Chain A
Amino acid sequence: MTELGVASVTATGQDEPLPPTGGPWARGWDRFRSQHWGLVGGLAVLGLIVAGSCAPLLARIEGQNPYSYHLELLDDARGNAPRGPLGGVSTAHWFGVEPLTGRDLFAITLYGLRTSLLVGIVATAAAVLIGVLIGLLAGYAGGLTDSVLSRFMDVMFAFPSLVFMIALTALVPDSLPRVLVVVAVIAVFGWTAIARVIRGQTLSLVNREFVLAARSLGAGWRWILVRELLPNLVSTVIVFASLAVPAAVGTEAALSFLGVGIPPPAPDLGRSISDAIAWVQGDPMFLLFPAGLLFAAVLGFNLLGDGLRDALDPRAARTAWTGRQGRGR
């Protein structure tokens, strides 16, 4: 199989004179701060995470919850679409109400955002953990271990992941918590990209002078992995993780959109959007609020990840990550 452009790369001009003061992290932070879009993305992500985690609090401030029906707000002459303009937006219901049930849309989208972010972040953490471990192992051990693991990555890469995810989430027994199943499925199909990059970087690091020096001074494998290799891989891991979260959020939404993700009644952005298809003519607001929030979350993470990548500049990540991984179609 093919290595997806995990090439070593020379810099492309822009020899900005870097101040010799401060460590690489301080310089990275300076670079990150100087690009506005990364900062905007970071702030958006921060805001959305806060809003998601405080969903119950915010809903209580509004005076609503995502489960109570408000049938009196629906217009049965129009097939139970919400009364009033903009899908029933009012001071009591900030985003209006859901058609058919009259549940509060502000509460539903915020709770849904919480679900999406939770699944996205936990699944990414799991995928990154698996990917780093396997990538390190393959790159450091070399030989047979490396060939076996590399072939394994090829096989995982060859899997029709969305097709497989749909089939799996639908066929595991109902006794397992659905959220865990979705997280596991996204993680299992999400670790290959980072594993490949970590393997490549590890391969190029193990023969560098500082690692050879450590080894000749008698350092054990644990020391070399933890003290010599990992610090050089951290920036790659951070960039990959920040770009993997939006992919995972998108995948979760896609699965729920297809009806195999988080089951009702738990609010979920993907399912709300799926429900909204039938109402796209009569009540477009029912689509626009959850869709806008989902788009904002994914875009925010992508901006943040791009900014981090440019600031920390782990060069392998630049070409290996295209935003393709784990995308729904």
Chain B
Amino acid sequence: MTGYLLRRLAGVLVVMLLVTAVAYLVFFLLPSDPARLSCGKPCTPDRLAQVRALLGYNHSVPVQYLQYLRGIVLGRDYGAGAATLHCAAPCFGYSFPQGRPVTSLIAERFPVTLSIAAGAALLWLVSGVLAGLVCALYRDSWLDRLLTVGALGGVSAPTFLVGLMGILVFGFRFNVLPVNGYIALTDDPAQWAFHLILPWCTLAFVFAAVYTRLTRTQVLEVLGEDYIAVARAKGLSRRRVFVRHALRAGLTPVLTLFALDLGGLLGGAVITEKVFGMQGLGALLIDAVASSDLPVVVGCTVFAGLLIVLANLAVDLLHGYLDPRVTS
């Protein structure tokens, strides 16, 4: 198990390096000049050169990349002397238009995205898997058909459409739920949850559909395996076979998908945030893109990549636990 763990950690590190490298290189090799974007107006040649030197853009791209990596691990200082801007580790860059380190911007927005993602994830995992299990257990019944059709609808409906329909029906028609704005959990837990009901349900509906379909096919497939028949033939009860043998094998891919989905969503629920007017990581990214705030764009991307890589690590560890064959 230790060897497996170490191998996985090394793999995570390599993938993370590659993800940051690609994100960094692509954005900084694009023909937009990051120094000019950070320079502000009016941008005199003197000031441009000053900004370039301050941000380290006067170095070659590989050196810049190494400085960036170093900043994530150790923090970094921009400029020298009295005008030094310190960016503490983990430093994802410095946004000049906003005059703040990217890390603090991310830290400020992350609770919003976390609130949206965590609640929705709980909801979609429970409802999606339950619906899938019902479908698999009562295969070809009217309930199975109903849920399967519903799941197909959920898979086909774009997230923003579901959200807008929710706003139209529950916000404007019946006027029972708030349709935008985020209340911090620490300010008022009840209002926090109340304002998040629609975003949670929107994401849960869209994601649960996928989980229903996946759970259904997985469990049905496992139930067709020989070892299930053997377990039944040995005299184990249907319930015991289902719970002890079929679920464990059938739900492993579901958990895999769950970790990846949650990791992806934590990097920014871009569309949900836009529909419901919440200022999370996704909104931060969209705004940064609109104002060409390159350090924030790169920072958001790298941070999102980090989360997905961590999710992958979690999946690997989970697999090692659920299926001992992988660790050997």
Contact = CB atoms under 8 A, between A and B. Distances in A.
Interface of A: 1-2, 4-5, 9-13, 151, 154-155, 158-160, 162-164, 166-168, 170-173, 246, 250, 253-254, 257-260, 273-274, 276-277, 280-281, 284, 287, 291, 294-295, 298-299, 302-303, 306, 318-319, 322-324, 327-329
B275 to A, nearest CB: 8
A168 B15 CA distance: 20
A159 B20 CA distance: 10
Nearest to A300: B156
Interface stretch (B39-47, B91-99, B209-217): B209-217
Interface of B: 11, 14-15, 18-19, 22-23, 26-27, 30-32, 152-153, 155-161, 164-165, 167-168, 172, 203, 206, 209-210, 213-214, 217-218, 220-221, 223-226, 253, 256-257, 261, 264-265, 267-272, 274-275, 282, 285-286, 289-290, 292, 294, 297-298, 300-301, 304-305, 307-309, 312, 315-316, 319
Contacts of A159: 19, 22, 305, 308
Contacts of A277: 164, 275
Contact of B257 (A4, A171, A172): A4
A329 B271 contact: yes
B319 to A, nearest CB: 6
28 contacts: A2-B316, A4-B256, A5-B218, A5-B256, A10-B221, A12-B220, A13-B224, A158-B305, A159-B308, A163-B267, A164-B23, A167-B289, A170-B290, A170-B297, A258-B270, A258-B271, A259-B286, A273-B160, A280-B172, A281-B172, A295-B157, A299-B153, A302-B156, A306-B152, A323-B155, A328-B158, A328-B270, A329-B269
A287 B158 contact: no
A274 B160 CA distance: 9
B156 A246 contact: yes
A86 B153 CA distance: 25
Which label, helix, strand, loop or mixed, suits the secondary structure of the B interface?
helix
A171 B308 CA distance: 23
Nearest to B270: A162
Given A1-B15, A12-B221, A163-B304, A257 B172 contact: no
A160 B253 contact: no
A26 B241 CA distance: 39
A253 B312 contact: no
Given A13-B224, A155-B15, A287-B168, A298 B156 contact: yes
Given A10-B224, A154-B15, A163-B304, A295 B271 contact: no
A166 B30 contact: no
Contacts of A280: 164, 167-168, 172
At the interface, is chain A mostly helix, strand, loop or mixed? helix
Contact of A160 (B206, B223, B304): B304
B257 A324 contact: yes
A41 to B, nearest CB: 10
B36 to A, nearest CB: 13
Contact of A158 (B26, B168, B312): B312
B74 to A, nearest CB: 24
Given A2-B319, A281-B172, A328-B270, A163 B158 contact: no
Contacts of B286: 166, 258-260
Contacts of A328: 158-160, 270-271
Nearest to B265: A329
Contacts of B220: 12
Nearest to A249: B158
B142 to A, nearest CB: 16
A257 B274 CA distance: 9
Contacts of A167: 27, 285, 289, 297-298, 300-301
Contacts of A259: 286, 290
